[in-house]
Chain A
Amino acid sequence: MAKKVEVLIKLQIRGGAANPSPPVGPALGAKGVNIMEFCKQFNARTQEQPGKVLPVIITVYGDKSFDFVIKTPPAAVQVLEASKQKKGSAEPNRVKVGSVTWDQVKEIAEIKMPDLNCFTIESAMKMVAGTARSMGINVKGDAPFDN
């Protein structure tokens, strides 16, 4: 029989650097989960991305056991990194604050594919390009696919 889910906890933690301080400590500790065990597992599984802020969804069960899924860094963060901008435009329709190339969009789309509801790389690229535009960041050149 499937275990009873007590709570889902959504955190964003730096790769390889989970520790029992907040938010990990209070979020998991309050549920009676062994925080140290979560930290050891998370750090081992994210050690190839040290320092990168990674979304993680932790499922805590009624028996105090847990599972977690590590997601890819948010598309918005990756678009910003790619465009070398630190924040999106306050008026994305009028004020463009930077640009990315379609190659960069494809690179981000490939990283994000496991977390997106997309069946093709083209549809993932369209979603990433849409995120960029909504932040006031242009995608330079013609799309490498038919719209």
Chain B
Amino acid sequence: MTYTKIQIKTSSLPDFLPDILIAKLADMGVESFEEQNDSLFAYGKTEELQLDDVAEFLTQMIISFEMEEIPEQNWNKKWEENFKFVEVDDKVLIHADFHKPEKLYPHVIKIHPKMAFGTGHHQTTRLVIRHMLNLDFNAKTVLDFGAGTAVLAILAEQMGAKSILAVDMDEWAINNANENIQINQCKTIQVKQSNGDDLKTDALYDVILANVNKNALLDRKNILIDGLKPSGILILSGLLENDLPEIQTAYEKSGLKFETINQENEWIAVKFVKSAI
């Protein structure tokens, strides 16, 4: 997906005008902005930007600007070339090709992240892994919702799951999940690009792992709950501790039983269980 950058010289504009431009351009499909000393840079997806409207508006305001298309690329490459491996409780090692493991771990996962989330560096991933290490995955069916690199799906397979669906809405994540599944020689993981709306929800999964964010977990609550088998386990992550009351209330009202939370700094991952009937 290509982006378009619009550069606007701000040095000769009245002080209040850049803020007005931001408000107006945001209405025309601009996603975000960068402010530098004498310029405002506006960015949006080329196919969603109303480029003609933007050009007409800036011309009417007698503001000089330049537009440039930015080709898609892995912006995270520099970090990915030199990141530190991650250990979780001496039981899981997540590493890249350039790391040489110095000891044995029960679970070793190799990840080439390529701008997808899930390297274990963020607390939310580690918190789900800690829940997973206390679960029995043997012959279980698993949904990894918001899979990113598919690190959790790969761990579920290593722990014995018989069938795993890894879902993400982002195309980069889907490509990367497929690559990591191949690198780790996984056999039971299917990957699907979806925001959840088209998922089958007829009680297919023994365990659902969802590391996304509070709003997505509230929006997709029914899909996740309906997808669970009776007595199924739901692990929710991507949450701050302040999010707990709202999440707990919403999921308990829908019949799930709150069990435990794992916490690291302000981040939490919550475990719920569906009733047996």
Whether the pair B75, A44 counts as a contact (CB closer than 8 A) is no
Taken together as a complex, chains A and B put the C-alpha atoms of A34 and B14 apart, in Å, by: 36
Contact-residue size bin, chain B (C-beta under 8 Å from the other chain):
35 or more
Cβ of B227 < 8 Å from any Cβ of A? no
Q: Is the CB of B34 within 8 A of A86?
A: no
Which chain B residues lie closer than 8 Å to A12 at the CB level? 22, 32-35
Please measure, in the bound complex, the distance between the C-alpha atom of A44 and the C-alpha atom of B215, giving whole angstroms. 9
Interface window among B102-110, B116-124, B188-196: B116-124
Closest A residue by C-beta to B116: A36
B80 smallest CB distance to A (angstroms): 8
Whether A76 contacts B213 by the Cβ 8 Å rule is no
- Complex partner residue of B20 from A31, A35, A45, A87, CB under 8 angstroms: A87
Once the chains are docked, how many angstroms separate the CA of A51 from the CA of B43?
Answer: 15
Does B240 touch A at the CB level, under 8 Å? yes
Which residues of B (113-161) have their CB < 8 Å from a CB of A?
A: 113, 115-117, 119, 121-122, 124, 148
B122 touches A21 (CB 8 A): no
Q: In the complex, which residues of chain B have a beta carbon less than 8 angstroms from the beta carbon of A20?
A: 75-76, 115, 172
A-B contact count (CB 8 A): 137
User: Are B124 and A40 touching (Cβ within 8 A)?
Assistant: yes
Q: State A33–B115 Cα separation when bound (angstroms).
A: 12
Interface core residue of B20, B82, B119 (most chain A CB under 10 Å)? B20
Measured CB to CB, the closest approach of chain B to A74, in angstroms, equals: 4
Interchain CB contact under 8 A, A37 and B70: no
Once the chains are docked, how many angstroms separate the CA of A135 from the CA of B3? Answer: 31
Instruction: Say yes or no: B27 contacts A86, CB within 8 Å.
Output: yes
Least CB distance from B129 to A in Å reads 16
Q: How far is the CA of A32 from the CA of B26 in the complex (A)?
A: 28
**Among the interface residues B34, B117, B122, which one has the most CB atoms of the partner chain A within 10 A?**
B34
**Taking the complex as formed, is B31 at the interface, i.e. its CB lies under 8 A from any CB of chain A?**
yes
Within the complex, which residue of B16, B76, B117 is in contact with A131, where a contact is CB–CB below 8 Å? B16
The answer on a CB contact under 8 Å between A23 and B41 is yes
Check A76 against B33 for contact (C-beta < 8 Å).
Answer: no
A residues with a Cβ closer than 8 A to B are 9-14, 16-37, 39-40, 43-45, 47, 50, 53, 64, 74-77, 80-81, 86-88, 90, 131, 134-135
- Known contacts A21-B3, A21-B45, A25-B115; 8 additional CB pairs below 8 A are A26-B75, A32-B78, A34-B119, A36-B116, A36-B148, A44-B239, A53-B33, A88-B17
